[in-house]
Chains A and B, each alone.
Chain A
């Protein structure tokens, strides 16, 4: 029961099972959930990244395809004889019209055409930028083309802030005489087309660094979304959040836009890092759209877990019930058994351990009932103390030497009492008397050893040693005496008590035995009881007993030498409790003592005189007569010279 205060001790089996289940299930389910969710999220992010990379690739591919178309168209133009003729005619206006015509025929693959001579002097420019000769990026383009084996170069160049994919090709007549530069705008139309293919959002932004104070202070970068498939609100979020620093450029960036989150990937289209004008393409993919599956899966998983938990709880409750119900039944029965009710039995249908337990409890109850019955019966047959001794100790033959006080009680006058009564009544009366005696003995911690007719043998100090075994025997003696006198005037008790070493133990055969004591002490005790008739006293106690219970008052009766015993024994009559005796009794005791002294001193005349006087005054005339008779005998044949006053009884 010390576990009651521990946090892991449970008052109910059901609670224990539930806690156990939850303790087992929740970490497992939690672990699985964590693992699956993490992997799924990772996978989704990987998927988004893959889509984004794919989107960027498609962006590039679309751009490349359109550039190829542009190249094809521009290339065809360079070999067009009519165009050559027009070029040879050296008339820019005609050439301009021819260029517009080509653009018109290009199905939007070419948005601009620029023709420059080999020195970079602009001949025509459909974008009418007003350049006389090429500068900056255009010059770079020509240099790149010039360095190429076939005179071919492409680039992205911003015209009025709008990025154009441009291509430069030589114009042969039949030797190269000029450069033709064709271009198409990376405009709304373009990003819409990319979005159609990739299902990703595409934006093209330009980053202009406004150097307010050169060489000092950070660059002020002005970001402007040129074209985008995003909504205006999302475009603004994009412009606010996107990062263009070196490390961020190649990484995926997450943009929390007005409508939803986007994962973004940057592609540099124009301008080196740190250049005054940089143009980027931003491919974006909605995070929510892609993680929809994850969210759905997660909620499915949670629903499934709840179902598993509920089902498991129900299963546990059922299990707990199936175990606890019969257990509680058993507990009830066991409690009843504890209270002494062995009649209840448990009905458990199951054949499992609980069934076995119930069966065991039932048989235990039967066993206990039987034992109780035996104990009860034993208590009736033998005394309670011996019954306990028998029931609680291994029953074995043999014994031990113990000091005990043995009480023999007999009923004087019982035969007279029974005269004229039918046997049944005799037995009833006997049982009543014996019950009374037995109750008295037991009430003084004595043990009734056996009944022999109307005689009772009782033990004090065995099997259980007490503090005042002999005194208890004395008290029992007095009570028995008075009880019998009170019961019927015709009845009186005669009791012998002796104290000494006895052999105590179970006597008999291995099949049938009883706890008892044997030895000289027992025999003497019985002899003392039988001597009461001779001395006409209600009791005789041995000297050993009298010494052992000094709080009582005795009268020395005699020194006797019983049959079979060489040792003579001083015997006494118990008169009452020391200090409670009446004066007359005290006088009588002292008178008897004086007479006895004269008798032992062989002053026969004096003894005779004293006993004779006492015989008249005292109640017990027979006692005095016993001594008077002996005096007569001793006068005729005096005792041996070493006579101490003992009287030898020839036989029992």
Chain B
């Protein structure tokens, strides 16, 4: 997430995309469903908003991953960064990795949830490389050329997932009433598998607002390659 702070353009684009996605989601659910809503407000130990946190609602009854959307995701490679850095995808969904840079990238993952690596490819590659993520879990992807490039693909069990924005707010609307397990994941969350769980009850027409303080471990930075080379090869 720090990378986005250091790259305002990428951050803005990400925000735009996020808005589009949430808007479309909203339109999708508005006609048929009543207004049950859950809002998660996330801050860290210092009181700062925590962006990039994944909220997932798990339910015995709604655990039908095939029923809903979010089966396609796209992780762009822009200015030697993955955009977005956190992506949710429902198990069984696909993620593609287009290359918007004018240099080659080599995407890989050694995560148990999905181990893969692409060959080196550029923006002119006819076929966009994509992978299917069948196993729920977190897949950490990197680029073998650019050590600092890092993105997380959260492969969820349900399609009730949201990612906190810059204000640390993640919202899900149109949730069927019922009892859910709320799962919160952050790449630096100081907990097993970087995730926390709690049971929440969504009542019909009810709005749930939950404030959470996340204990984050310190971020370890990886040095980005010098800017001179960036200018030369862009």
Interface of A with B (CB < 8 Å)? 79, 81, 84-85, 87-88, 149-151, 170, 172-177
Contact = CB atoms under 8 A, between A and B. Distances in A.
Nearest to B138: A175
17 contacts: A79-B147, A81-B108, A85-B110, A87-B110, A88-B110, A88-B115, A149-B220, A150-B220, A173-B110, A173-B140, A173-B142, A174-B140, A174-B142, A174-B143, A175-B150, A175-B187, A176-B220
Given A174-B149, A174-B150, A150 B221 contact: yes
Nearest to A88: B110
A117 B187 CA distance: 18
Contacts of A151: 220
A561 B140 CA distance: 177
A87 B140 CA distance: 16
Nearest to A175: B140
B234 interface: no
Contacts of B142: 172-174
A149 B2 CA distance: 14
A601 B147 CA distance: 180
Contacts of B147: 79, 172, 174
B222 interface: yes
Contacts of A79: 147
B141 interface: yes
B140 A170 contact: no
Interface in B60-109: 108
A150 B223 CA distance: 8
B4 interface: no
A149 B222 CA distance: 9
Contacts of B187: 175
Nearest to A149: B221
Interface residues of B, number: 16
Interface of B: 108, 110, 115, 140-144, 147, 149-150, 187, 220-223
Nearest to A170: B220
Nearest to B223: A150
Nearest to A145: B220
Nearest to A147: B218
A35 to B, nearest CB: 58
Contacts of B220: 149-151, 170, 176
B222 A172 contact: yes
Interface residues of A, dominant DSSP:
mixed
B208 to A, nearest CB: 32
A173 to B, nearest CB: 5
Contacts of A81: 108, 144
B1 to A, nearest CB: 14
**Which 10 residue pairs spanning A and B have beta carbons closest together?**
A174-B142, A88-B110, A173-B110, A81-B144, A174-B150, A175-B140, A151-B220, A79-B147, A174-B140, A149-B221
B170 to A, nearest CB: 22
Most chain A CB inside 10 Å of its own CB: which residue of B115, B140, B149: B140
A229 B144 CA distance: 45
A170 B220 CA distance: 10
Contacts of A149: 220-221
Nearest to B152: A175
B195 to A, nearest CB: 15
A253 to B, nearest CB: 43
A85 B150 CA distance: 17
Nearest to B187: A175
Contacts of B223: 150
B116 to A, nearest CB: 11
B206 to A, nearest CB: 38
A172 B115 CA distance: 15
A85 B144 CA distance: 11
Contacts of A176: 220
Given A87-B110, A174-B142, A174-B143, 7 more contacts: A79-B147, A84-B110, A85-B110, A88-B115, A170-B220, A172-B142, A173-B142
A75 to B, nearest CB: 10
A114 B144 CA distance: 23
Contacts of B222: 150, 172
A101 to B, nearest CB: 19
A571 to B, nearest CB: 156
Nearest to B146: A174
B221 A174 contact: no
Contact of B141 (A84, A172, A174): A174
A158 to B, nearest CB: 29
A90 to B, nearest CB: 10
A170 B140 CA distance: 16
Contacts of B108: 81, 174
A162 B30 CA distance: 72
A84 B220 CA distance: 19
A305 to B, nearest CB: 66
Contacts of B150: 174-175
Contacts of B144: 81
A472 B162 CA distance: 168
B230 to A, nearest CB: 18
Contacts of A175: 140, 150, 187
A173 B111 CA distance: 8
B197 to A, nearest CB: 22
Contacts of B140: 173-175
A175 B221 CA distance: 10
A150 B219 CA distance: 9
A81 B110 CA distance: 11
B216 to A, nearest CB: 14
Nearest to B150: A174
A421 to B, nearest CB: 153
Nearest to A174: B142
A116 to B, nearest CB: 16
A62 to B, nearest CB: 26
A399 B142 CA distance: 147
A176 B188 CA distance: 12
A273 B17 CA distance: 60
B169 to A, nearest CB: 26
A85 B110 CA distance: 8
A81 B147 CA distance: 11
Most chain A CB inside 10 Å of its own CB: which residue of B143, B147, B187: B147
A356 to B, nearest CB: 95
A84 B144 CA distance: 10
Nearest to A151: B220
A175 B143 CA distance: 11
Nearest to A177: B110
